[in-house]
Chains A and B, each alone.
Chain A
């Protein structure tokens, strides 16, 4: 029996990292929002590593925060360790990484959802979508409840037809033995969606008191931690360290001796796994020459003694896993609390999506997160916030929001997914971004906060603070350009100390700051700003000045790309009608339906001459259309 259970603007199915961001964004933009999850105790659960951030991923968290999303704020409240990585490298690749208290993270996030106006959080397993007039208008829950909405966002993670593989043991399950969602997967298939089978995995967890940390190297957090959110200003006290050890020769012998029992090699696993997250058995087979592999021990929280064994993702049988663990220095006596496992699940082929994350097949239906073939909490959350924003914008009758590749890693991620698709679970890497120097950790607010404010996720107060910071950065650059220092003793002394060439004539501060060996601190000592500046402002000024030549070069490339991006392709174009475009390109273009010439040119299999022809055709098309309108009006 079904019954009508409620009417909302937006329904989000799933409350993982994508789902919570989508639901919060939509509700905060003023849309009545329902967030449904199979198990209310699993909101924002971290089924794998207890950490957030790192290169590219940390950038995404920062972008989510700059747009007005939640992940940054939530991890800032609940971390047990914070580290800035890559500090010896350039500013573009500085990356913040936090170890999370994964339980606290969940609780805080759940509380935030519960306290957000317009947002209803409910338990329920969605089995079907309600479709009317080829539009998705709601969902049907296993209990018979029917919810209606103007837009639905699916964020099903690894729950769709999930299957856990642990040695010879194989069973249907979502992550961490949660109920799997079978009917919804079948329903999507019936609706004509292309699904792929992907695989991922997680390592075993061990008891802290059975680890001998004396045999390991300590990995402490930073003394003066930075934060993900631009709004955070208070640190969490008492950071907890991680520990580093290595596999041993014995580890490799055990694995090699049990390969016949490894589902990875026995054929039990059919899903495609990510290359960047191989299991330990995979690493040892593929890199047989490498004598040892790093193993990091990471606490799962403050109120638990469970430790995550990073580097040891495996689907070997349980007893083999224990032997492997005990072959590692410092873990000779270790007690395994949970075994690692591999999990297979259905994902939809992401080229079926528009850059707004709305499905082409079913208007009103959006998808975000692992269902789109990605991997990682941050990638999921980044899509979640965008899907939530676009679902709400659709309900509100406003123009959708698509981030370009020069605006954020989120833009790179979504453009890659919907334009190129993916043959393995997709992970962001900084090398996927062409304009890496522009997509920095430090300038996420400059890139995205105005957008967050426009869509209604950034409060006026926060926006005013942002504007002030921006103004201070600009003013300080003007001051540096117009202030000269003369070759006076105290200036020469500072230059000498920095190992820099001494002055012969007066020179402006901007030129001095451009010297690689001169930092903003040196400049400050020569001639301090009359206005009090925050560290963030100083950092921003220093980066913008020091790397201005390279930044300028990238901006020129962006300019060129924008011209192509601004050439929009009419939505009703029929590629099969275009004489001269290669057959392969016609198929790809018809399938991807690119919004712009820029996007079209990134589709694999579409050549530059196809693009030239398309440009000519569109010009022709626009002229004909304009002529027709003129004739109709006269």
Chain B
């Protein structure tokens, strides 16, 4: 436990320009090496040097990174340390962390780097109490986060899954510990079906995880278009009806103002390019370049056109630059005469893109717009109270491991392993899931055995 290799994202969460994943342990270099493509292999790297290269996953480049190698003992933890510098934001760092965990690196506990630094004699004795405080504080925060997790939809689902596994395990245990009891032995087919069903259920949870992240942080939405097409009135209308939080940061460059809104239970983070709600003079300053940047950054683009005006070349170019993104064309001002060539417009759209006819002024078409957004992301099936999803790397990792354990159980069953061997894998899956919601083994198995079966002499 104390000498294994651990990793964690060392930078604060949020939008920094770089993020650092720290890996510590005597095998840290050999864990990172196979993931890193560069001119010098990491194992040959000198201590305290930095290396440019790419993180690869099965030959596919995942991230462009700089990696520092620091060999024991002149390091923070007095163990070999590898620090991976990647692009900021949570996604890149989490992807890399995920790859490390999949290779068998353990996610560091709160304060564990500091703890190791202390246990390995790197930190002075007088700092022992400070270390304790740090562990306490970090654990408390982790605990609070876990508590929040443990009351949501996710934990209910995991509890259900675990309960299903627990019943299966209890039955197997009764077959083992009470061989003469009249509880029939479970058939291999039943075991495989149960394990397969549970694994399937967990896969769904993981699939939901990516959209869960989107929901947690909001779908980044850019409103783009020529001046005077009604962008600001669309934004104001959306915000007015649906405002959730305003994270206006005064005194900054005002390059980006974010508005959080919730549409039918879907949180949107509206990216407002500079001064979109300011005077018309400023609106005129927004060039095509600015719009391109907004398109680049967004998960969803609301492309506003004027029903009353013909399409211009600039608009078509801008639209073409967004053809890899989900775009909803908001044809505004439908209360005015139609001068736009909708047939031509339709012909240049990709199948991710659709048209909604709108009149912001007349309050027409908002329902259609909301439905279009929902359709795009969730096949129109999103439920408003379905908002707790698996989101962090640790959870996804545990879920993946539990699927692996269940698949092992199925494989063991198929090759004819005895039930007490199969049970090892099923129990492992059950314990891994327990780690997500902070429930450990304890007495619950015995409780289950004796409440589910009538046993005794």
Contact = CB atoms under 8 A, between A and B. Distances in A.
Interface of A: 48-49, 55-56, 85-86, 88-93, 95, 203, 274-278, 283, 286-287, 290, 293-294, 296, 310-311, 313, 429-432, 436-437, 516-517, 547, 550, 553-554, 560, 563-564, 579-580, 604, 607-609, 612-613, 615-617, 619-620, 623-624
Given A89-B419, A580-B132, A624 B456 contact: no
Contacts of B417: 90, 516
Contacts of A431: 173, 176-177, 445-446, 449
B44 interface: no
Contact of A89 (B416, B418, B446): B418
B131 A516 contact: no
B179 A55 contact: yes
B74 to A, nearest CB: 21
Interface string B416-429: 11111100100000
A89 B415 CA distance: 14
Contacts of B112: 612
Contacts of B185: 88
A516 B415 contact: yes
A56 B446 CA distance: 15
Contact of B450 (A92, A95, A275, A580): A275
Interface stretch (B133-141, B204-212, B323-331): B133-141
A90 B420 contact: yes
Contact of A92 (B139, B177, B420, B445): B420
21 contacts: A86-B179, A88-B185, A89-B420, A90-B421, A93-B176, A278-B455, A286-B454, A431-B173, A431-B176, A517-B416, A550-B424, A554-B424, A579-B129, A608-B139, A612-B111, A613-B132, A613-B135, A615-B119, A616-B118, A617-B132, A620-B128
A85 B136 contact: no
B176 A609 contact: no
A585 to B, nearest CB: 12
Interface in B99-116: 109-112, 115
B1 interface: yes
B182 interface: yes
Interface string B428-451: 000000000000001001100110
Given A579-B132, A580-B136, A563 B3 contact: yes
A287 B424 contact: no
A283 B455 CA distance: 8
Contacts of A86: 176, 179
Contacts of B98: none
B181 interface: yes
Contact of A294 (B3, B182, B421): B182
Contacts of B128: 616-617, 619-620
Contact of B180 (A85, A437, A550): A85
Interface of B: 1-3, 109-112, 115, 118-119, 125, 128-129, 131-133, 135-136, 139, 143, 173, 175-182, 185, 415-421, 424, 442, 445-446, 449-450, 454-457
A621 to B, nearest CB: 9
A620 B125 contact: yes
Contacts of A310: 457
Contacts of A93: 176, 418, 420
Contacts of A432: 446
A429 B177 contact: yes
Contacts of A560: 1
Closest 3 CB pairs of A and B: A90-B418, A609-B139, A580-B132
A604 B444 CA distance: 13
A313 B457 contact: yes
A430 B176 contact: yes
B420 A293 contact: no
A233 B208 CA distance: 62
Given A616-B128, A620-B125, A437 B420 contact: yes
Given A516-B415, A516-B417, A429 B457 contact: no
A56 B177 contact: yes
Contacts of A88: 185, 418
A410 B139 CA distance: 35
Contacts of A436: 420, 424
Nearest to A567: B2
Given A88-B185, A278-B456, A563-B3, 14 more contacts: A86-B179, A89-B418, A93-B176, A274-B456, A275-B446, A294-B181, A296-B180, A429-B446, A430-B420, A431-B177, A560-B1, A580-B135, A608-B109, A623-B125
Contacts of B419: 89-90
Contacts of A49: 457
B421 A563 contact: no
Among B175, B181, B421, B450: residue with most chain A CB under 10 A: B421
A311 B416 CA distance: 33
A516 B416 contact: yes
Contacts of A92: 420
A95 B175 CA distance: 13
Nearest to B454: A287
Contacts of A296: 180
A278 B451 CA distance: 12
A624 B185 CA distance: 58
B416 to A, nearest CB: 5
Nearest to A423: B443
Contacts of A617: 128, 132
Contacts of B449: 429, 431
Contacts of B442: 604
A290 B454 contact: yes
Nearest to A287: B454
Contacts of A290: 454
A296 B178 CA distance: 14
Contact of B177 (A274, A293, A430, A550): A430
B424 to A, nearest CB: 6
Given A85-B180, A86-B179, A550-B424, A616 B173 contact: no
Contacts of B118: 616, 619
Nearest to A432: B446
A430 B173 CA distance: 8
Contact of A277 (B2, B424, B457): B457
B456 A277 contact: yes
Contacts of A313: 456-457
Among B110, B129, B420, B455: residue with most chain A CB under 10 A: B420
B454 A612 contact: no
Nearest to B453: A287
Among A311, A564, A608: residue with most chain B CB under 10 A: A608
B421 A609 contact: no
A311 B421 contact: no
Contacts of B424: 436-437, 550, 553-554
B12 to A, nearest CB: 21
A434 to B, nearest CB: 8
Nearest to B2: A563
A616 B109 contact: no
Contacts of B132: 579-580, 613, 616-617
A550 B455 CA distance: 30
Among A91, A550, A554, A604: residue with most chain B CB under 10 A: A550
B454 A293 contact: yes
Given A93-B176, A609-B139, A616 B421 contact: no
A615 B143 CA distance: 20
A85 B179 contact: yes
Nearest to A310: B457
A550 B417 CA distance: 11
A574 to B, nearest CB: 15
Nearest to A309: B457
Nearest to B441: A434
Nearest to B445: A431
Contacts of B175: 89
A432 B421 CA distance: 15
Contacts of B457: 48-49, 203, 277, 310-311, 313
B375 to A, nearest CB: 45
Nearest to A563: B1
A431 B225 CA distance: 66
